[in-house]
Amino acid sequence: MKKIPYLHLILFAVTFLTTLTAGALQKGINIINEPGRIIEGLPFAGTLMTILLCHELSHYIASKKHHTKATLPYFIPAPSIIGTFGAFIKMKSPIVTRKALIDIGASGPIAGFIVSVIASIIGLSISEVVSLPQTGGTLSLGDSILFSFLSKVVMGVAPDNQDILLHPVAFAGWIGLFVTSLNLIPIGQLDGGHIAFAILGERHKYISIVLVAILGVLGIFYWEGWALWAVLMLILGIKHPPVIYWEVPIDRKRRFVGFLSLIIFIVTFIPLPFKLL
């Protein structure tokens, strides 16, 4: 008889509540005075939780496909502007081949990317174009290559005198794309690190060292968060553990998936994610 995953369900429920709260607060709702209006945070919470769930379940399904033991997703609630620190699954057995490494590493970001793009397009179509003075004193989000392209295609915003007041669904889509880029950085045991190690082998270690240094520089000149991310990567380790059967080759399909993941990383990466206007 299978055990009911109480911890996973509780964390999911609490994280849904904190993202629901965050979505309501983004709309200027005082949930202490008007607790019933917390439901107005549903467009943001529902979209973001769907993106995170698709990302982690794709990892989980790929792990099962390759007979790698993995936990169900752990969601992390947080008292932040988005209500969560994300989600993760924990591997409980080694990944045995490079094919499995690419499939498991790439499945989550690609699934999350697809859902995030859909959410961004839908959210942008119902977002509002405002003049720049109206957004003064607010938090401005940086644009990746992809989000900037989607904004111009969907809304046709002139960047010199106008800006977009993102609908909560579009904001969740933006977060999903940003999280995708973070996961696809080819360092250590991040999803991007899994993919890079499967293709490059021990050379991946040198890529990790260079990228940690680049993140440190970005943290000095662009956004302090990159410096914290670089320190976290050093703490978690930049060297990837070996797979058991390295001699099993990776095919053209997996190499294409690796190349596709690199392109997704490039078009979703944001050097300056946040700034105050």
Each residue's pLDDT tens digit, 166-210: 999 999 999 999 999 999 999 999 999 999 999 999 999 999 999
Domain boundaries of the chain, sorted by first residue: 6-276
CA distances from 181 to 41, 64, 132, 163, 246 (A): 25, 25, 27, 23, 27
Global pTM value? 0.94
**Predicted local confidence at residue 138, as pLDDT:** 65
Mean pLDDT score of the chain: 93
The residue assigned the tokens 């109206």 is: 134
How many of the other CB atoms lie within 10 Å of CB of 244? 11
pLDDT tens digit sequence for 201-239: 999 999 999 999 999 999 999 899 999 999 999 999 999
72-77: average pLDDT: 97
pLDDT score of 159: 57
Would you state the pLDDT for residue 162?
75
Give the strand pairing for 162-165 and 128-131: antiparallel
Q: Which residues on adjacent β-strands are paired with residue 275?
A: 140
- pLDDT attached to residue 156: 81
> pLDDT tens across 21-59, in order?
999 999 999 999 999 999 999 999 999 999 999 999 999
All residues at 6 or more sequence positions from 56 whose CB lies less than 8 Å from its CB, including other chains: 73, 87, 88, 89, 108
Element spanning 87, H or E: strand 84-88
CB atoms within 10 A of CB 37: 13
Rounded Cα gap, residues 250 and 114, in angstroms: 24
Q: How confident is the model at residue 164 (pLDDT cuts 50, 70, 90)?
A: confident
- pLDDT in the model for residue 15: 98
